Amino acid sequence: MSFSITVRRAALPAAVLAALALPSAAPAHAAAASVTATVETAPVSHSGDAADDPAIWVHPTDPAKSVVVATDKKGALEVYDMTGARIQRITGDYGNNVDLRGDIVVSADDEAADGNGAMHVYRIDAATRQLKRLRDIPTEVTAHGICLYTSPASGKLYAFPNSTSGRVEQWELAVDGDAVTATSVRLWDAGSAVEGCYADETTGKLYLGEEDVGVWVYGAEPTAGTGRTKLDSTGSGGHITADTEGITAAGNRIYVSSQGSNDFTVYDRSTRAYLGRFAVSGGTAADGCEDTDGIDATAANLGPAFPQGVFICQDGSNGAPGTSGNQNFKFVPLQRITAQFG
């Protein structure tokens, strides 16, 4: 004798069935703290995706006369005072990123005539706050991102141009008056597209952003090799939403632009522990920063407007919500951020 048994399952609600059919979503990030800027720069001259990366120069004797050097990657290097007013515009520089150490400024131009790109080396005059172009250095990589590093061991100045191909190069730069000598000392492949980087003299580390992956930590000395550890990632368990773009540090904090979530992640500079995130929101003095590429920060006194330092972010959609003008840069008093993270 045979038996037939039918098992009936209760029907699941349609919403549940739909959820089961979807791929699992990435875990949501904790809510970002909100800060506002007190200054915004004049917009760059070119429309569209033009502004990209800022670098802060601290005046050696009068902090209020400090300036911000920033890129208009469609054809100019811009210099702003601490009120956001443009005081110099250097045409013919298609630098995507820019960095500086002391009075030496270097932009990474991936549209230079040789096809690979070049580093443009400038000196900033403390009396006039104007940049003078010293030399153009063709690079092995297609120079897209860049950061500078002064070795605490040797005192030598180095530049790290890097490429959307994932290639990274380290150059030793020797500047004597207006003469610049450049020597390539290291070349390696970080993987996929890289751009944002920060070289930290306090730790001897190079922080390199692989845009779709996260932030890697290398040794910054030319003999350090290519061994690396990960600061944070865009993947499961990470805190960054691609692209990983700007990276900087000030005081005891490291900051990373989490472009896809329109905010910035914060880490302890000594332990590299993740501390949280913040967004630069619209306020009474300036609108916020969205779709940010480059960032920079310093804890140095920059005069009465920024006595405890400043955080600067590129704004990818300048204007009130629903509007858009030529891109620019926003200045946030650094204490508004540090107050959020102890």
Q: What is the tens place of the pLDDT at every residue in 48-99?
A: 999 999 999 999 999 999 999 999 999 999 999 999 999 999 999 999 999 9
Could you write out the DSSP letters of every residue in 40-63?
EPPPPSS-SS-EEEEEEE--SS-G
Residue 113 is predicted with a pLDDT of 55
* Residue whose token pair is 């003095």: 285
Residue type, 70: A
Which of the residue ranges 100-114, 215-229, 264-278, 323-337 would you say has the lowest mean pLDDT?
Answer: 100-114
Which of the residue ranges 24-33, 182-191, 245-254 would you say has the lowest mean pLDDT?
Answer: 24-33
Residue 167 is predicted with a pLDDT of 95
Residue type, 311: F
Residue 307 is predicted with a pLDDT of 98
Classified as helix, coil or strand, 261 is helix
Residues 155-190 pLDDT 10s: 999 999 999 999 999 999 999 999 999 999 999 999
Classified as helix, coil or strand, 338 is helix
The answer, yes or no, to whether residue 27 has pLDDT greater than 90, is no
- In 92-178, beta strands by DSSP E: 95-101, 104-109, 118-124, 131-138, 148-150, 157-159, 167-176
Strands 33-36, 274-281: pairing kind: parallel
The answer, yes or no, to whether residue 47 has pLDDT greater than 50, is yes
Strands 295-298, 274-281: pairing kind: unpaired
The answer, yes or no, to whether residue 222 has pLDDT greater than 70, is yes
pTM of the model: 0.90
Cβ neighbour number for residue 132 with a 10 Å cutoff: 14
Please state, rounded to an integer, the average pLDDT across all residues of the chain: 90
Residue 3 is predicted with a pLDDT of 38
Residue 320 is predicted with a pLDDT of 61
Residues 252-271 pLDDT 10s: 999 999 999 999 999 999 99
Check: CB of residue 158 under 8 Å from CB of residue 222. yes
The answer, yes or no, to whether residue 9 has pLDDT greater than 60, is no
Q: Which residues contact 130 (CB under 8 A, 6 or more apart)?
A: 79, 87, 88, 124
The answer, yes or no, to whether residue 216 has pLDDT greater than 80, is yes
Cβ neighbour number for residue 143 with a 10 Å cutoff: 31
Which of the residue ranges 37-41, 141-145, 200-204, 257-261 would you say has the lowest mean pLDDT?
Answer: 141-145
Tokens of 74: 């469609």
Calpha distance 55→97 (Å, rounded): 9
Per-residue CA distances from 319 to 144, 182, 212, 295 (Å) = 27, 41, 27, 18
In terms of pLDDT, which residue wins out, 27 or 278? 278
Residue 117 is predicted with a pLDDT of 83
Tokens of 163: 């490429």
Give mean pLDDT, residues 273-279: 97
Calpha distance 277→285 (Å, rounded): 22
Q: From its phi and psi, is residue 156 left (phi > 0), alpha (psi between -120 and 50) or beta?
A: beta
- Which pLDDT band holds residue 323 (cuts at 50, 70, 90)? low
Strands 118-124, 263-268: pairing kind: unpaired
What radius of gyration do the chain's Cα atoms show?
A: 22
Nearest to 209, CA basis, from 237, 230, 236, 238: 230
Tell me the longest C-alpha to C-alpha distance in the chain.
105
Classified as helix, coil or strand, 21 is helix
